[in-house]
Amino acid sequence: MKKSILVTGGAGFIGSHVVRRFVNKYPEYSIFNLDALTYAGNMENLKDIEHKENYTFLHGDITDEVFVNSIFEKYRFDSIIHLAAESHVDRSITDPLAFAKTNILGTMILLNAFKELWKGNWEEKLFYHISTDEVYGSLGENGLFEETTPYDPNSPYSASKASSDHFVRAYGETYGLPFVITNCSNNYGQNQFPEKLIPLFIHNIINNKPLPVYGDGNYTRDWLYVIDHAIAIDLVFHQGILTDTYNIGGFNEWKNIDLVKLLCQQMDEKLGRAIGSSSQLIAYVKDRPGHDLRYAIDASKINKELGWNPTVTFEEGLSKTIDWYLGNKEWLANVTSGNYQNYYKEQYQ
Ligand code: NAD
Ligand code: TYD
């Protein structure tokens, strides 16, 4: 069936993998990518598909209500996959208002445009909201986040995502807007901006710079390869039950320091450096304020109901990720020039 799908944030890390998958796999769908091209958005991420007939790029901001309404009117999207967001916890600590604006207000503007366009004619329509496991707050040493875990966000980033999740649900309850939400764990893979742990440390190892591990390094995250997330999004988009939430995770918990040691080992091998040389770059630095101790996802619902499972092990995914960064040094050089240098100085010095 033909569909007109708006993907927001499609020039970013996860969004670019979602856009590529949908454009290539569903030539009968029209895929529109709305992106403001902030520091995190990069047209290079979609070079390979930008010429495709079923793909259109729309440069604009989700917080610009007039613009958003105009494109809804013009293209009459029947489905939205909403990924556009400010996505980095550290930046949310320095500039929380930017997160409220994009993540909360931007989501509301999209919800409202969708509501106004279809005015209750909801057949074959879908608003798919991409969220994070961070809305659930922090776990202790044991336990897993389930879909029923109460929201308890701790950072301005997770609070803004939690708020946007609530607005999606509220539009569902109040106006009958058809929605589905997924809450995913930490993603890694190619095209991730080098502010998040894994690409930042790959970049620093290449350049022999210190690896700033926050606090004692005993914080735990569940890691998922970005292409496995895109596969899950495809499944939920087509088969997810309306008004349901699905947790997505890698069944793959790592303490930061153990992950960093594995990364150092793989980097030494790939760069032909003496084993142990990259780990000498590890530098324990001041902790992140409000740092969540542990995230871990129970992804059994999406596994049982939709048959989803990660396709790569962490060791394989990490190896592919490093290979991509080593093979795309120009991409890395471009995104780390200019403003990145100021960001890095302010964050780490
Ligand atoms: P990202 O920061 O790499 O990309 C965000 C994209 O959104 C960029 O292309 C940026 O230009 C665009 N954008 C930002 N503000 C915008 C605005 N006002 N209008 C239009 N476009 C705007 O983010 P990501 O890591 O790809 O995350 C995508 C989504 O997935 C986010 O909603 C995030 O909360 C969620 N998520 C991310 C992770 C993760 O580990 N990265 C995990 C779970 C959920
Ligand atoms: P990050 O990639 O920022 O993702 P999130 O905060 O959304 O989980 O961080 C992952 C973990 O790595 C988190 O516990 C914070 C830690 N971390 C560092 O120790 N040093 C760093 O420079 C960064 C960016 C993160």
Give the whole-angstrom CA distance, residue 322 versus residue 266. 8
pLDDT of residue 23: 98
Residue range 21-36: average pLDDT?
A: 98
**pLDDT (tens digit per residue) in 249-304:** 999 999 999 999 999 999 999 999 999 999 999 999 999 999 999 999 999 999 99
171 is known as an active-site residue: no
Quick one: pLDDT band at residue 203, thresholds 50, 70, 90?
A: very high
**pLDDT (tens digit per residue) in 301-322:** 999 999 999 999 999 999 999 9
The DSSP code sequence of 238-259 is HHPPTT-EEEE--S-EEEHHHH
Residue 91 confidence (pLDDT) above 90 = yes
Check 29, 55, 136, 157 and give the catalytic one.
Answer: 157
Residue with CA at minimum distance from ligand 2 atom 9: 197
pLDDT of residue 349: 84
157 is known as an active-site residue: yes
258 is known as an active-site residue: no
For residue 201, the ligand 2 atom closest to its alpha carbon is: 22
How remote is the CA of residue 166 from the centroid of ligand 2, in Å?
Answer: 25
Residue 156 confidence (pLDDT) above 90 = yes
Give the whole-angstrom CA distance, residue 106 versus residue 68. 10
Q: Tell me the one-letter amino acid at 253.
A: E
Distance, first Cα to last Cα, the chain: 53
Q: Tell me the one-letter amino acid at 225.
A: Y
Q: Tell me the one-letter amino acid at 20.
A: R
74, 119 Cβ separation under 8 angstroms: no
Higher pLDDT, 39 or 349: 39
64 burial via Cβ count (<10 Å: 0-12, 13-18, 19+): middle
Q: Tell me the one-letter amino acid at 268.
A: D
Which of 13, 165, 227 is the best mutation target for the ligand 1 pocket, counting ligand atoms within 8 Å of the beta carbon and taking the most?
A: 13
Residue environment code for 316-348, b if the CB has 16+ CB neighbours within 10 A, otherwise e:
ebbeebbebbeeeeebbeebbeeebeebbeebe
How remote is the CA of residue 196 from the centroid of ligand 2, in Å?
Answer: 6
Nearest to 42 by CA among 330, 347, 345, 320: 330
For residue 87, the ligand 2 atom closest to its alpha carbon is: 7
Give the whole-angstrom CA distance, residue 298 versus residue 252. 11
Quick one: pLDDT band at residue 149, thresholds 50, 70, 90?
A: very high
Length of the chain: 349
For the record, the structure tokens of 102 come out as: 């994009």
For residue 102, the ligand 1 atom closest to its alpha carbon is: 18
> In the chain, what are the domains?
4-192+225-251+294-312+341-348 (3.40.50.720)
**pLDDT (tens digit per residue) in 187-196:** 999 999 999 9
pLDDT of residue 211: 98
Residue 1 confidence (pLDDT) above 80 = no
Beta strand spans in the chain (E)? 3-8, 29-35, 55-59, 79-82, 126-132, 179-184, 186-188, 211-214, 220-225, 245-248, 253-255, 282-285
Residue range 12-36: average pLDDT?
A: 98
224, 208 Cβ separation under 8 angstroms: no
How remote is the CA of residue 218 from the centroid of ligand 2, in Å?
Answer: 11
Which of 34, 38, 64 is the best mutation target for the ligand 1 pocket, counting ligand atoms within 8 Å of the beta carbon and taking the most?
A: 38
Check 134, 165, 195, 222 and give the catalytic one.
Answer: 134
Residue with CA at minimum distance from ligand 2 atom 22: 212
For residue 288, the ligand 2 atom closest to its alpha carbon is: 15
137: left (phi over 0), alpha (psi -120 to 50) or beta: left
Residues 6 or more apart in contact with residue 108 via CB below 8 angstroms: 164, 167
Phi and psi torsions of 294, nearest 5°: -150, 135
How remote is the CA of residue 280 from the centroid of ligand 1, in Å?
Answer: 32
Q: What is the dihedral of CA 97, 103, 105, 106, to 10 degrees?
A: 130
How remote is the CA of residue 151 from the centroid of ligand 2, in Å?
Answer: 21
Ligand nearest to the CA of 133: 1
For residue 213, the ligand 2 atom closest to its alpha carbon is: 19
Residue range 183-202: average pLDDT?
A: 98
